[in-house]
């Protein structure tokens, strides 16, 4: 059952997301790009959320290595999954924006390539978590990968400045007035949505942990059972 606090968070997130979407679709159009620029109000917050989610993953990873508390490992895993989803969504929205602006859905330009790499590396992180069965080993390896993978974030962020290409530089500097306000509202809305997703994903992670422990506790000790001498109840009774 959902806690009242979580329920309020969900309602707030829905209201703010709806407000941001309405605002994004009705605010005045950009002078140079026209209406198609409205894609920015979902594309940029999705990319921001991916960065935030991977940032939380690195915090959880470092905290697990220091404390060895399962809660931190669950936080890292939950946030990484959300980060992968939002990286994928940001790439898709970016491709749709690129078609009318650049004339093609995809081009091998630095921001796109580094973001695609980010997506696949964190997919690898999730695959690693599924591949290792021992919880301690899994948490250790994932924590190390979670920290190493985070090195990509500043590279992706700075790629538009280091290797000037098709992708525009930071949107926050290229717009002002009501457009900038709309972008900040959308970022706030997506952050609320992230909080809801993280809270749900953490609940799932806790349940999966309980399930794993219950299954381990219920599994018979195969080697021990094999060497246990058979009882002679039937024989002695006879």
By CB under 8 A, tell whether 17 contacts other proteins. yes
Out of 99, 151, 163, 178, the residue judged to bind other proteins by CB under 8 A:
99
C-alpha–C-alpha distance, residues 38 and 42, integer Å: 8
Out of 15, 155, 181, 214, the residue judged to bind other proteins by CB under 8 A:
214
C-alpha–C-alpha distance, residues 117 and 28, integer Å: 35
Angle, helix 70-102 to helix 135-149, in steps of 10 degrees: 40
Using CA atoms, how far residue 168 sits from 18, 175, 183, 198, in Å, is: 27, 12, 16, 30
Considering CB under 8 A, how many residues would be counted as binding other proteins?
43
By CB under 8 A, tell whether 188 contacts other proteins. no
Tokens of 72: 């931190």
C-alpha–C-alpha distance, residues 41 and 20, integer Å: 8
**Identity of the residue, 84 or 139, whose beta carbon is nearer to other proteins in the bound complex:** 84
By CB under 8 A, tell whether 207 contacts other proteins. yes
Q: What is the CA radius of gyration of the chain?
A: 24
Out of 62, 96, 117, 188, the residue judged to bind other proteins by CB under 8 A:
96
By CB under 8 A, tell whether 170 contacts other proteins. no
Q: What is the x/- site pattern for other proteins, positions 26-65, by CB under 8 A?
A: ------xxxxxxxx--xx--x-------------------
Largest Cα–Cα separation, the chain: 97
Could you list the residues that contact other proteins (CB under 8 A)? 17, 21, 24-25, 32-39, 42-43, 46, 82, 85, 88-89, 92-93, 96-97, 99-103, 166, 193, 196-197, 200-201, 203-204, 207-208, 210-211, 214-215, 218
């Amino acid at each position: 059952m959902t806690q009242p606090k979580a329920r309020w968070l969900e309602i707030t997130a829905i209201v703010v997301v709806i407000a941001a979407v309405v605002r994004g679709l009705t605010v005045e159009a950009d002078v140079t790009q026209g209406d198609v620029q409205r894609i920015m109000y979902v594309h940029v917050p999705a990319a921001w959320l991916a960065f935030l989610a991977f940032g939380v993953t690195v915090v959880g990873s470092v905290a697990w290595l220091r404390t060895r508390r399962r809660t931190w490992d669950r936080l890292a895993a939950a946030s990484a999954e959300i980060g992968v989803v939002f990286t994928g969504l940001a790439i898709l929205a970016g491709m749709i924006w690129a078609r009318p602006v650049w004339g093609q859905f995809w081009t091998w330009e630095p921001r796109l390539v580094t973001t695609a790499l980010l997506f696949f590396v964190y997919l690898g992180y999730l695959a690693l978590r599924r591949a290792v069965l021992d919880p301690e080993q899994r948490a250790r390896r994932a924590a190390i990968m979670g920290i190493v993978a985070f090195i990509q974030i500043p590279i992706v962020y700075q790629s538009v400045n280091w290797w000037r290409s098709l992708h525009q530089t930071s949107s926050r500097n290229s717009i002002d007035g009501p457009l900038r306000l709309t972008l900040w509202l959308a970022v706030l809305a997506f952050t609320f949505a992230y909080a809801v997703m993280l809270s749900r994903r953490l609940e799932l992670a806790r349940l999966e942990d309980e399930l794993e422990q219950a299954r381990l506790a219920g599994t018979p000790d195969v080697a021990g059972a094999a060497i246990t001498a058979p009882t002679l109840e039937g024989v002695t009774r006879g």
